[in-house]
Amino acid sequence: MLREGTVALLRRERDIQIVAEASNGQEAVDLASQLKPDIVVMDVRMPVLSGIEATRRIRESLPDVQVLVLTAHDDDQYVFSLLEAGASGYLLKTAPISELVKAVRQVHDGEMPLDPSIARKVVLHMSGKGSKSSAVVTTPSSEELTARELEVLQLLAQGLNNNAIAETLSISDRTVQAHLTNIFSKMHVSSRLEAVLTAIRRGWLTIAS
């Protein structure tokens, strides 16, 4: 029922075509092999073959087929197993349909959309810190960002979406997007997650307990 509802909503978009539906992981692998779609929207817990193994098989045999995870599960074991298997994005089923549509387009454009809570898990995992942490920004030593861009970067690391960042800083969504565009350009990155991870690697951003 959930799958059929998701399909019906995605079919409303003129630039998205549904080419098949699968009721289990093995069927997803078989259909992907036959049809070679641009994107597979994948759940985690499925009959016959898990979403993790299905994602791994699809990505290994069909590297041009991207997998966008859409699930109710945000457990670390699922998140990191799916990302390691090659998933190109990870959304929770609590996300509005507009976010799913946006994520499908982002994956198609080579971006890696993540639910804010998932993005934070990844940042904490990559930095080797526990879950009870906060983001701390230090002044970049090169390719300097403005004070406001640093604030936006800090809030990105905390897993906030554009609306939440706008509310926190008392600015408009459009201004947040402009700051993100500038940050991406200055840091030579193409996604929110990549910006945060790059800042961590450069020592601009640390995760403090």
Model confidence over 38-49: pLDDT tens digits?
Answer: 999 999 988 999
Residue pLDDT, tens place only, 3-22: 888 899 899 999 999 999 99
| Segment 130-147 mean pLDDT | 56
What is the b/e burial string over 131-151, where b = at least 16 CB atoms within 10 angstroms of the residue's CB?
A: eebebebeebeeeebeeebbb
Structural domains in the chain, CATH included, are: 2-112 (3.40.50.2300), 122-208 (1.10.10.10)
Alpha carbons 106 and 100: distance in angstroms, whole number? 10
Tokens found for residue 198: 């790059």
Which amino acid would we find at residue 34? Q
pLDDT in tens, 76-120: 888 888 887 888 889 998 888 889 999 999 888 877 788 888 877
The pLDDT, as a whole number, for residue 29 is: 97
- Does 36 or 121 have the greater pLDDT score? 36
pLDDT value of residue 144: 78
pLDDT digits (tens, 9 = 90+) for 53-82: 999 999 999 988 999 999 998 888 888 888
With CA atoms as reference, report the closest residue to 144 among 193, 118, 101, 183: 183
Cβ count within 10 A of residue 63: 9
Q: When comparing pLDDT for 189 and 126, which is higher?
A: 189
* More confidently predicted of 21 and 190: 21
Count how many residues are written for the chain. 209
Q: How would you classify the pairing of strands 89-92 and 134-137?
A: unpaired
- Which strand (E) or helix (H) includes residue 137? strand 134-137
- Provide the pLDDT for residue 128: 55
Considering the chain, what percentage of its residues have pLDDT values greater than 90?
40
Q: Tell me what the pLDDT averaged over the chain comes to.
A: 83
pLDDT score at 188: 80
Whole-structure pTM value: 0.65
- Residue 131 clears pLDDT 50, i.e. is over it: no
